[in-house]
Structure formats: structure tokens, C-alpha cells
Chains A and B, each alone.
Chain A
């Protein structure tokens, strides 16, 4: 009896067509985009004498300025709190209407989902421009833009959480003859609170960042200060604000992440 021949080494599977197509498209898009925006890294190597002067101004921040604009810091904080609260309430309502678990009317579901994807497709600065146009320059425009922005995020995340809830309590509520509202309050909301509150905290965190952005277009808060100082070439003031801003964001990040870990 001869020993069985060693089995041939199996052939290495070739790449799947889907991935070849995706890869080719990705490379083509990269080359095309780079040409279109005339991408270059040359300034890094060539340097730019003017740039060095500006960077030096950034390296000597005018710390006194941070305290000097405290009303605008406060304004930013107040805007973030109000917008988070309003965005959280509206976002919850939209999330409940945007999940097939809690909303059993298909047409309403479709309309709400459509509205939500439009809300999320515009960047916060787009909303800021719109709101400044409608209610004029100032913090009200900022609050409104943030509310819409927050609503979109909270509704999206919360409706995903709602989709994933345990069906047991919902079935029990149905079996007991609960109305849509009773079913939501008794069987659904208790399941989503931890996720929901952590999303609210997260939104508060990004609101501080977003409020700096929307301030740049005249929607109040520290962003407005940043824009003015930048336009006046007061780089030492800009630098102080930026450092203050980053410290606040990091501190809030740490606090909010600790809270979120306890919630989840």
C-alpha cells in the first residue's frame, strides 16, 4: 500500500470582484480629487517666511484677553445648555416617530425619516447661515441652529437604540391592550434612557465645538470673537482663545466620558 499523495496545496482564493471594483473606484477618486484640488505638500518643505512670523505671534498668547471676553465664554456655555435641552426633547420626539418599533404608521415613519436625513445632511454652519438670515445676527440664531443640529444627531442615535430594544416588554404591553402612548411610556422609554442620556451628554460636548464654528458666521458666542480677532490679525488674542477653548473641551470631554461610562 502506497502512502497517500500529499494533497495539493489549495489555490489561494482570488480577490472578490466587489472589492476589485471598490478598489479601482477608490484609487480613481483619489487621483481625480487630488488633481481637482491641486493637492500639494510643497509649502511644508519650502517653508514660508511670513508664516514663521505668524506662528511666532501664536506662540506668545495674550492671556489677559481670555478673561477679558468672559461674557462671550458665558454666552457660548448658555447657548450650549439651552440648545442641548431643546434639541434633546425634540430629538426624542423625532426618534420615537422615526423608529418602526414605536411608530406604527408607515407613512408618518417615512416622512419623519426623510425630514431627519435632510436635517442631518446640512452642516451646522449651513443652519447658522439660514438662521442668521431669518432672525438676524446674535445668539438667538446660534441657539436655533444648534437646536436643529442637535435634534438630528439625537434623533438618529436614539432611533437606532429604539430599533434594538428588547421586544418582550413591548409584546407584554400589546397583550395587555396598551395604547401606542402607554406602550412607549411603560415598555420602551425605560429601556432607552441610558443610551439617550449618554447621547445628550455627547451632544452637549460637541455643542461647545459647534458653537465656536457657528459663531464665525455671526451667531454669537466665542466664535464671533475668534472671527473678529482673526480678521484684525490679532494672532496673540486668537491664540489665547484657542488654547482656552481646547482646555475647556478636554476637561468637558473627560467629565462627560466619565458620566457616560457610568450611564452605559
Chain B
């Protein structure tokens, strides 16, 4: 009878991981040296955070219904709601434009050459930040008008939404499409009754998700003068009006979180809990 004394297997070497980590750390340190930022200011950071936290929160404790503060809160909400309006209209523009782009970029819908062209266009759009669209095309044309902001967000959204729509289409179940083809349905009828109903829930939840993204993306457009909360930030921080800036920040955080929660609730309701985690929405 033999005793069961199998040797414990040797642990796999950690050397490659360690070398990689050291190399990355070295690169980052080199970058930090090359950047020549005022790194010593970091030592004072905790103290500064305390100071500014006190300055920024001053407005919170004052009676919001007394005179100057009432105005401060009202203005902050006004600008934040403008941001929501701009983001909503922008998302809608992006949503409407992205449907044809999405269909044209799906391999199982459009011919190869069209897919290639559409995807290239979508990739280029995704590479251009919204604010560049705004300063290059829309500001000269519209002047400082919130519609320019909404259009910038809309065009910016087409890239992501079109890509996601085409991926959703490529993943659809072939059954209903084949059934329709078998009945001799026309191409449009196949799109409308075989494909659209399958992908619509997912597409609508992309739209909502993009709305959440656009609320944040719109802030930079406000700073350029196209309306919304970014404009207020610019005024208050440049004017060093900390109490008012604090109120504006608080309003932004609270409104954004509430809208995110609502939008997430609707998305869950539409497509169930699984969400679109398998897709690269990030």
C-alpha cells in the first residue's frame, strides 16, 4: 500500500506579472517627472480640500427661501433644466439619425460596400468630440444658440448609437426574418416586421443611456456659451463665487442622479435586468 503523498505542485511563476508591473510603474514615474506639474502642491491638497469644501458648502446652510439664496437656487435649477432640455433634444436628433445609419452598418441588412462606408463614417463621428463639432460648424452658423448645442450632441450621438444599433441587428434571431421571407414579404416589410420589433427594446435603452451621457457631455457646450449648466459653472468659478458655485454643483449632482435612476428604471423595465452588458457600450 502506498501512501498518498503527492508533492504539492509548484506555484506558477509570478515573474512576468512583476516585471510588467515594474515596467508600467517606471513609465508612469517617467511621465510624472516629464510633466513638470507642480507635484508639491499635492501636499497642500488636503488642507485646500477642507478650505474649499467649507467655502462651497456655505450656501447650503443658509435659508434657501431668504433673498439672495432663493435666486441662487432658482438660477442653478434653471440652467440645469436647460441642460436636460438640450440633452433630450440632442439625444432625439441622434436617435432619429442613428436608425438608418444602424441599418446601413449591419452586415445582415446592407450590402458589403455600404456597411464599410457607413462604419467608416460612424468611426470618424465617434472620434470627434461634441465640442469640436460645436466650435467648428455650429457656432459660426447658429451663434450662441442652444439649438447649436443640441445639434452638436445629436451628431455626436450618431456614432455610438449607430454602432450599437448595427450590433443589435447583427445579433437578432433569424427565425422571424426567415418566416417573413418565406411568405414573400418585401424588403421593407422584413425590416419593419421581422427585424425592428426584435431590436427596438434594446435600441430604446441605448437611447436612454445616451441621454444620460449627453447630460454630462452638454456641460462643455455650456462653457462655450451654448446654454446649460456649463455656462453657469464658467460664470461662478471664474467669478470665484464659491457659495453659488457650491449650490450649482449640488443641483447638478442631485438632478443628474435622479435622472439616471429614472432612466435606469425605465431601461430595466424595457429590456429586463440583463441590460446590454455583453455589448461595448462603455
User: Does A78 belong to the interface (CB within 8 Å)?
Assistant: yes
Q: Are A48 and B38 in contact (CB under 8 A)?
A: no
Q: A interface, how many residues as a size bin?
A: 35 or more
Q: Indicate if B217 sits at the interface (CB-CB under 8 A).
A: yes
- Residue A44 CB within 8 A of the other chain: yes
- Interface-central residue, A129, A135, A213, by most chain B CB under 10 Å: A129
Q: Mark A193-204, 1 if CB is under 8 A from B, else 0.
A: 000000100100
Bits for A51-63, please: 1 = Cβ < 8 Å to B, else 0. Answer: 1001100100000
Query: B27-55: contact bitstring with A at CB < 8 Å (1 yes, 0 no)?
Result: 11001101111110110010011001000
Chain A facing B: main interface SS: helix
Within the complex, what minimum Cβ distance (angstroms) separates B256 from chain A? 4
- The verdict on B24 contacting chain A, using a C-beta distance below 8 Å, is yes
Find residues 106-135 in chain A having any chain B CB closer than 8 Å to their own CB. Answer: 117-118, 121-126, 129-130, 132-135
- The listed residue (B35, B88, B89, B136) touching A242 by CB distance below 8 A is B136
Nearest CB on A from B261, distance (A): 9
Which of B63-71, B124-132, B173-181, B188-196 lies at the interface? B124-132
Tell me, in angstroms, the Cα distance from A160 to B84 when the chains sit together: 27
- Is A123 in contact with B52, judged by CB distance below 8 angstroms? no
Contacts of A41 in B (CB 8 A): 147
Stretch in B2-10, B99-107, B111-119, B230-238 touching the partner = B230-238
One of A5-13, A27-35, A90-98, A167-175 at the interface? A27-35
Task: Choose among A124, A126, A160, A239 the residue with the greatest number of B CB atoms under 10 Å from its CB.
Answer: A126
Q: Could you tell me the distance in whole angstroms from the C-beta of B266 to the nearest C-beta in chain A?
A: 7
Q: How distant is the Cα of A118 from the Cα of B41 in the complex, in angstroms?
A: 25
* Contact present for B282 and A34 (CB under 8 Å): no
Q: Is A187 an interface residue (CB 8 A)?
A: no
Contact B123 A50 (CB under 8 A): no
With A123-B216, A126-B252, A249-B127 in contact, is A82–B32 under 8 Å at CB?
yes
A153 sits at the interface (CB 8 A): yes
Q: Which residues of B174-216 are within 8 A (CB) of A? A: 216
Give residues 209-235 of A contacting B (CB, 8 Å). Answer: 209, 212-213, 216-217, 220, 230
Chain B 48-84 interface residues, beta-carbon cutoff 8 Å to A: 48-49, 52, 81-82, 84
> By the criterion CB–CB under 8 Å, are A44 and B141 in contact?
yes
